[in-house]
Structure 1
Amino acid sequence: MAERTGGQLTVEALKREGVRVLFTLAGGHLFPIYDACLDAGIRIVDTRHEQAAGHMAEGWSLFTGQMGVCAVTAGPGLTDAVTAIANAFQSNSPLLVLGGRSALLENDRGSLQDIDQLALVKPITKWARICHHTHRIPEYVAMAYRHALSGRPGPVYLELPMDVLFAKVEESQVRWPDQYRSTARPTAEPALLEQAAALLAQAERPLVLAGSGCLWSGAAAALKRFSERTGIPVVTRTGGRGVLPDSHPLALAGPMMGILSVLSQADVVLALGTRFNFTLLYGRLLQPPVRVIQVDIEPSELGFNRGPDIGVFGDIRAVLDGLTPLVPENPVRDWARQARQALEEAARSAREGFSPDSFPIHPRRLVEEVREVAGPEAIYVCDGGDIMLWGSEVFPAERPASVVTTGPLGCLGVGLPFALAAKLAQPERTVVLLSGDGTFGLNGMEFDTAVRHRLPILCVVGNDQAWGMIKHGQEMFYGPERVCACELGPVRYDLLAQALGGHGELVERPEEIRPALERAMRSGLPACVNVLTDPTLPHPVTKFATESGVL
């Protein structure tokens, strides 16, 4: 019988799961995995920081629907990736992290990069284990997939010691698991569906809040059927943006303050796979007399911060399939028209006092120019504080995972890795990263990854020369004379892009924006358009969040 190394068994197990790309930063503990990837045809995308490798793997999950995989070396390799794991955990994104470590035979002997890695990752993963025996690697990979993808998804961690990976075993010793995870979708109790349908039938101003649970459930078609039958308007939010296209007549998209206002007018809210966390003021917006039907695949989420009037445990798509025929047909509602008109009015109000030709450049002018140049079919990744808010309310979400932001952890630096993952996953689409100048600096060296791996994304830096959201918060709390630790100056990220082999341009005046964007798009290279924006303009949500105590 032939012998197989631990690295070969690991890669074969990944290959059986359909893995095509492995994200990593090279480390000696992982040599057998890399070597096996060459033979298996798995593409290795190497980054400049392990955090970026983890973010790219999460991004792969977002943009393909298949779990992304990253491999990080021991010790500092794993600690560098902790932020990415935590981000996936808070966003409920599936992610497999393979961690190298020193040999088992060197335990407690002070070997290179040897720390208790499992203790670090257990609080921020759904499942974390060490595989101690080479022949059991396929079993542990199967366990990792089962835990990551069962119920509410999330990150998992599998640690593979160096001697386990380098060792060889006879194929006859290896057991390849089969049918090791279910594809069944938990459905709701019929009585609860009937109660939910009755409440929706009585409602005068019902509204759907569709969150990231709709994305992971693959509920886009089911949500469209439900909304068109019932005429109930839909707000897609966070990771759920685009599960109903923004251009759909029943989609409510626009300024965030306008959306919050419309939400406060609803009398029944159907919350689908969305959390009542700080982004919804911990449920305070949905206090009685508003009635809430909450649907989630994670039962412990039902009642989090705001007890539902009807709590439904189940897969979002399965619940919608069961609920839709129970709700009376009412495809044309005055309320849906009124809600859309209210948002259109909010959009007009948001533009009052806005002069597109003002100097310094207004961030709204910048994001509107980006939208016009990139178009409705682009993938937009927004990373930062104020600039992320400007982009996320202006960019169109016409498909699931078309407008992606930092997520509930508020983790800056995800933007460039997410954008690179998007271009890898969907190379035929234009990928735009809108980034703040502060956040771009966190993982800016991944521009080198873009160049080396020929991933021509368009990066637009809204450069207000500061950590703008923090600066504006300090100004509101203490006054402008007490601002500290926020000023960054006019950093030339465009020159960094050029130095790394990409296309870079600096924009200082509004009339320069569109020509620079068009040149960047035509370059065929990873491009950075560095736009100096007005440093005095906080987004309205920044003011609201500061005054509400959210920030």
Structure 2
Amino acid sequence: MAEIHGGRVVARALKAENVTYIFTLCGGHVMPIYDGCVDEGIRVIDVRHEQTAAHAADGWARVTGQPGVAVVTAGPGVTDAVTGVASAHRANVPMILIGGQGPRPFADMGSLQDMNHVELMRPITKWSVSVPEGRRLAEYVAMAFRIATSGLPGPVFLEMPIDQLFQTYDETRILFPTKYRTEAGIAGDPRYVERAFELLRSAQRPVILVGSQLRWSKRREAYLKFVDTFGIPVYVNGLGRGSLPPDHPYFFSQTRKDALRQADVVLIFGTPLDFRLGYGRETHFNPAAKVIQVDLDGAEIGRNRPIEVGIVGDTGLVMEQLTQLAEAERFDKSLIKPWLDEIRRRETEKWERMRPELESDAVPINPLRACKEIADAVGRNVIAIGDGGDFVATAASILRIYEQGHWLDPGPLGTLGVGPGYAMAAKLAKPDHPVVIIYGDGSFGLHGMEFEAMVRQKIPVVGIVGNDAAWQQIRRGQIQLYGRERAVATALDYTRYDRVVEALGGHGEYCERPEEIRPAIERALASGKPALVNIKIGTSEFRKDAISI
């Protein structure tokens, strides 16, 4: 009779889910899980703050399409991870957070770090639960993965008391589930899909918005054929970025607001009508536009504005259904080509208006010129993580992303500090791709010490700081509202963050002129070390009046 401890049970269950890394900050309540991971061949990546561990689990899911796993100790270990879990929850990203807990027999007796984690995590997870009995640890891991990945994905929290993890069990009496979930997707109601097609067929100025749910679709391969069949301008947001290459004939990025204000039909796939889309109101949408909304969550359909057709379904599957109807009805995309050409003309004009700043030789460096130099230096295969406000939003307009899951940003919760966790996960998942963090100088201060963890564990990520000595996204509006003399709490210094990374054992670069940027990034990427390129930038009117609430 073989005996294994609870930590080994958990690790074996994780291995059955093809988990190869867990992200953690060490704690006594969860030590047996580490020990089990050593036996099961799962690498344990340790970080300097539990928020980073949670962001890394989130980032792993975004890059690979499979849930990431973070393991944290009880009490403050769990509370420190809350922000990372909340960020994943708002973005509908599947991840698993395992949290420790005091011994079950000592519940409510005041054991070390004892608190009610389950109720704390319930509002920001799809499922929050404490494992009731040690022999069921593997069952609960399996349930966690099933719930995290089914329907609209999201995070799951599993609490595991320390006595369950240290206790040993007869291996033959442990149930390790198999065949416990389906990969089937949700197709749209055919009647509603037909209604949507009729609207598209009669449209003269249609627009398509593709959001993050494409990343989790069971039929992503239907996307390109759908786009080519209909020939409609496509805009993307969230994890939809990279789903079409920037040189695709139907991809647009600079004219979304213009197109939505004139569109007669708007087809929205898997993204909410939240602040990013002006809540679907007339400031961003033509009030007379007919809206078709496709979402895995029926409760999301019709939120914030009336819709003409609502379809509950998987983005890719509904795209496939629409394509089949178009082929059967011999849909003629040439009828909307004048609209397509008009939007392309406006797109070109927008880029031309940006050109003076993109090519500016000003010192301090213009933010748009800095972003152009970054884009030219990092190449097509880059995985770019945005961790900041104003500078990251500028970079998002300039960087060219060629693959889905290769642009990660703070998401709809607007969480700063995501960079190191996302980046470590991305580099571990795809070691042959360059991974860069586009930082605001404010955001670097949140988790800059994670470069120590990267150096020690040989995870060569490159950070690039747009250093304007301010929390610029807030400061600009603050000055407009209250005047410079009353603009408190938003000014920083031109700090040498590159030297911080050098002191931690990484590679540092500092740039004050635009022509210095690309060589500095190339040296940082070639160093084979975690690195930071610190770029002193000035200001630009490009992001004026851009605060969203």
From 467, 473, 477, the counterpart of 1:469: 473
Separation of aligned partners in 2, 1:379 and 1:439 = 19
Give the CA deviation at 1:538.
5.2
* TM-aligned CA distance change 1:510 to 1:133, over 3 Å: same
Q: Does 1:336 align with 2:340?
A: yes
Q: In structure 2, what is the equivalent of residue 544 of structure 1?
A: 545
Q: In structure 1, what is the equivalent of residue 285 of structure 2?
A: 286
Percent identity of the aligned residues?
A: 45
| 1:441-474: CA deviation from partner (whole Å, max 9, x where unpaired) | 1011111121112121221000011111111110
Give the CA deviation at 1:240.
0.8
Separation of aligned partners in 2, 1:350 and 1:73 = 49
Separation of aligned partners in 2, 1:236 and 1:287 = 18
Q: Does 1:70 align with 2:74?
A: no
Separation of aligned partners in 2, 1:427 and 1:164 = 36
Q: In structure 1, what is the equivalent of residue 194 of structure 2?
A: 194
| 1:462-520: CA deviation from partner (whole Å, max 9, x where unpaired) | 00111111111101111222100111101111011101111001111222212212221
Q: Secondary structure at the match of 1:225?
A: helix
In 1, are the aligned partners of 2:8 and 2:39 still within 8 Å (CA)? Answer: no
Q: In structure 1, what is the equivalent of residue 298 of structure 2?
A: 299
Give the CA deviation at 1:220.
4.2
Q: In structure 2, what is the equivalent of residue 509 of structure 1?
A: 513
Give the CA deviation at 1:301.
0.8
Separation of aligned partners in 2, 1:353 and 1:77 = 45
Q: Secondary structure at the match of 2:361?
A: coil
User: What amino acid is the match of 1:5?
Assistant: H
Give the CA deviation at 1:98.
0.4
| Structure 2 counterparts to residues 296-445 of structure 1, below 5 A | 296-327=295-326, 328-332=330-334, 333-352=337-356, 356-445=360-449
In 2, are the aligned partners of 1:223 and 1:244 still within 8 Å (CA)? Answer: no
User: What amino acid is the match of 2:180?
Assistant: Y
| Structure 2 counterparts to residues 524-539 of structure 1, below 5 A | 524-534=528-538, 536-537=539-540, 539=542
| 1:110-161: CA deviation from partner (whole Å, max 9, x where unpaired) | 1111111111100100001101211111111111111111100000000000
* TM-aligned CA distance change 1:497 to 1:245, over 3 Å: same
From 260, 264, 270, the counterpart of 1:267: 264
In 2, are the aligned partners of 1:386 and 1:538 still within 8 Å (CA)? Answer: no
Give the CA deviation at 1:351.
3.2
Q: Secondary structure at the match of 1:159?
A: strand
Q: In structure 1, what is the equivalent of residue 29 of structure 2?
A: 29
Q: In structure 2, what is the equivalent of residue 492 of structure 1?
A: 496
In 2, are the aligned partners of 1:23 and 1:44 still within 8 Å (CA)? Answer: yes
| 1:214-237: CA deviation from partner (whole Å, max 9, x where unpaired) | 111155431210110111121111
Q: In structure 2, what is the equivalent of residue 235 of structure 1?
A: 235
Q: Secondary structure at the match of 2:447?
A: coil
Q: Secondary structure at the match of 2:470?
A: coil
| 1:397-437: CA deviation from partner (whole Å, max 9, x where unpaired) | 21101222110000001012211211111111111111000
Deviation larger for 418-427 or 84-93 = 418-427
Separation of aligned partners in 2, 1:365 and 1:352 = 9
User: What amino acid is the match of 2:268?
Assistant: A
Give the CA deviation at 1:537.
2.8
Q: In structure 2, what is the equivalent of residue 45 of structure 1?
A: 45
Give the CA deviation at 1:331.
4.3
* TM-aligned CA distance change 1:539 to 1:249, over 3 Å: same
User: What amino acid is the match of 2:521?
Assistant: L
| 1:252-272: CA deviation from partner (whole Å, max 9, x where unpaired) | 12x3xx321122221111100
In 1, are the aligned partners of 2:358 and 2:372 still within 8 Å (CA)? Answer: no
Q: Does 1:277 align with 2:274?
A: yes
In 2, are the aligned partners of 1:259 and 1:343 still within 8 Å (CA)? Answer: no
TM-score between both structures, scaled by the size of structure 2: 0.96
Give the CA deviation at 1:307.
2.4
Q: Secondary structure at the match of 2:498?
A: helix
The unaligned stretches of length 5 or more in structure 1 are none
User: What amino acid is the match of 2:545?
Assistant: F
Give the CA deviation at 1:350.
2.7
Q: Secondary structure at the match of 1:175?
A: coil
Separation of aligned partners in 2, 1:493 and 1:331 = 52
Deviation larger for 397-406 or 53-62 = 397-406
| 1:37-86: CA deviation from partner (whole Å, max 9, x where unpaired) | 01100011100100000001100001111100000000110010000000
In 1, are the aligned partners of 2:292 and 2:307 still within 8 Å (CA)? Answer: yes
Give the CA deviation at 1:204.
0.5
Give the CA deviation at 1:107.
1.2
Give the CA deviation at 1:178.
2.5
Q: Secondary structure at the match of 2:267?
A: strand
In 2, are the aligned partners of 1:497 and 1:504 still within 8 Å (CA)? Answer: yes
Give the CA deviation at 1:90.
0.4
Separation of aligned partners in 2, 1:345 and 1:221 = 32
* TM-aligned CA distance change 1:202 to 1:302, over 3 Å: same
Cα root mean square deviation, aligned: 1.4
In 1, are the aligned partners of 2:119 and 2:128 still within 8 Å (CA)? Answer: no
